[in-house]
Chain A
């Protein structure tokens, strides 16, 4: 098997894993702390891409786009939380699913009204173009940047949750909302902030892949479903589980798509391998998820103290 291609695809998978982590982290935080199933998280991914992308196109600088996207998404996230989601916390999961499904329809259509049906192409800045040599392979600079940014965000999130005061409040709110409230923590405020952080992470994920894929309506939904798979595998509410499961899912999905048909050739006739390859590789991570759930219904890293 081709060693260069193998490394390249591994890095691509790692990069997909990073994107998935940015999505899954917000999703799992919101679920772990507020017990809210939020389908509209995919919309945050899309809005981040369109808002940040537009700023990048208007100012001519992708970096400014990323920087201004952060407060924009924080505000949008907090507004969505305060206007709609807040009323949903005492409701059951079915109501969450339906109401946030309604939000998706609304956001997709609003995006179509504002930006038109074609989507938005965001050019890559010059200094991020090109490739660098990494040992035997050459790899695009921008994809390396995505991986580095993602790892930095993961580290930052870890420090935020485990080493800072707000992280302490988040953990307190997650393990016992009522008690934390009784001790004087402003729980509604905390929830808004957490939701805002989740929206920023999702928006960042959407924006950083936009130079590769272009911003499209509904772009968040496929990623959202993969992120669901990730947090189910990782254990809902666990950031560490989300990180490991994201990378595993990203790598397996990408590697499966490029190498499964080659692998199947080892023990299947050629035409069978060629037709089974793509079908099977698109199903692989779901089979993985089913297998993991079969043995560990709570996921790989269920957070401590969660029932």
Chain B
């Protein structure tokens, strides 16, 4: 069973514990800015958990996953722009949009394998990126300010309260990890992992792997879209940049850095990635010159990511 004292699990407990207490800890230490940093970490962590579902467990390397952040975000932004702020309309629309688009994109890109899949997911995502850039009504390049956060319509629970916003994000993060745990250990997850290691064999025993992959692709798209709608709400701003292709690259990196195919790896990855960029960018504006080679070194020498390094004897499949 689960060994709670393994280094990887201790790290997980530290990271999740930090997320839980930062709204109290950071102001007490005189660094209230870190509440914002941690909210961002958690939002990216949700997106990374969703990518890990298809990339880590399913072997589908989507290089356009950030597009769902954009779709979820723009659904909120555009509805708010037209004066619709109710959660009960905004969130179902955002989730529905992500489901429909990930279904279409998945149906197209899953017809291909390997490097074709990488390039097609990238190209399809860029298509929507350029669409958002050309949408002059919604701010084009400059993005769209969101005047009011999603409104639950009840007095005691309002996202305008930053504490409520923070713990909503925290709850969604825990829920997304829980869902991915449930999925991975279901029949569905077994088929996914089996198809990753030998697709032909799984088909030979009579399972249509295409449908399972497509289902996983849609679930991951929707989960990432939820991260996007939280991001739009939290930042009160959406812009094409949130779905530009470097964001997708960063998401992949977070997953790999933390440890692919591990439950909490993407969360750790998002945490380390964003903390590191926060620290490096406070040293120099040219922090990418350190960060780029760091990325190359992680790929070359730390294949299992942080969770892999902390779990002796394990390596990425």
Interface residues of A (CB under 8 A from B): 31, 37, 84, 87-88, 91, 93-95, 97-99, 101-110, 112-113, 221, 225, 228-229, 231-232, 236, 275, 278-279, 282-283, 286-287, 289-290, 293-294, 297-299
Contact = CB atoms under 8 A, between A and B. Distances in A.
A94 B123 contact: no
Majority DSSP secondary structure for residues of B touching A? helix
Interface centre among A88, A95, A275 (most CB of B within 10 A): A95
Contact of B292 (A104, A287, A297): A104
Contact of A37 (B115, B123, B137, B291): B115
Interface stretch (B24-32, B71-79, B128-136, B207-215): B128-136
24 contacts: A37-B118, A93-B61, A93-B118, A94-B55, A95-B299, A95-B303, A97-B118, A97-B249, A98-B256, A98-B295, A99-B295, A99-B299, A102-B292, A106-B289, A109-B286, A109-B287, A109-B288, A225-B122, A225-B123, A228-B122, A231-B119, A232-B119, A282-B133, A286-B124
Contacts of A99: 295-296, 299-300
Contacts of A101: 246, 249, 252-253, 295
Interface residues of B, number: 43
Contacts of A294: 108, 111
Contact of A97 (B120, B246, B252, B292): B252
A275 B137 CA distance: 9
Nearest to A228: B119
A306 B256 CA distance: 29
A94 B120 contact: no
Contacts of B120: 232, 289-290, 293
A258 B264 CA distance: 49
A248 to B, nearest CB: 15
A299 B299 CA distance: 30
Nearest to A110: B289
Contacts of B178: none
Given A113-B286, A228-B123, A294-B108, A279 B245 contact: no
B157 to A, nearest CB: 37
B289 A102 contact: no
Contact of A290 (B108, B245, B300): B108
A99 B61 CA distance: 14
Nearest to A27: B119
Contacts of A31: 115
Interface in B251-307: 252-253, 256, 286-289, 291-296, 298-300, 303
B131 A279 contact: yes
A297 B115 contact: no
Contacts of A289: 120, 123
A249 to B, nearest CB: 11
Contacts of A298: 116
Contacts of A95: 299, 303
B63 A97 contact: yes
A293 B111 contact: yes
Top 8 A-B residue pairs of the complex, sorted by shortest distance between their CB atoms: A102-B295, A106-B292, A105-B292, A286-B127, A109-B288, A102-B296, A109-B289, A282-B130
A158 B154 CA distance: 69
Contacts of B114: 93
A62 B65 CA distance: 41
Given A102-B293, A286-B124, A294-B111, A221 B245 contact: yes
B126 interface: yes
Interface centre among B124, B134, B135, B286 (most CB of A within 10 A): B134
Given A221-B245, A232-B119, A97 B108 contact: no
B311 interface: no
Interface string B80-116: 0000000000000000000000000000100110111
A97 B303 CA distance: 14
Contact of A286 (B111, B115, B126): B126
A106 B252 CA distance: 17
A297 B109 CA distance: 9
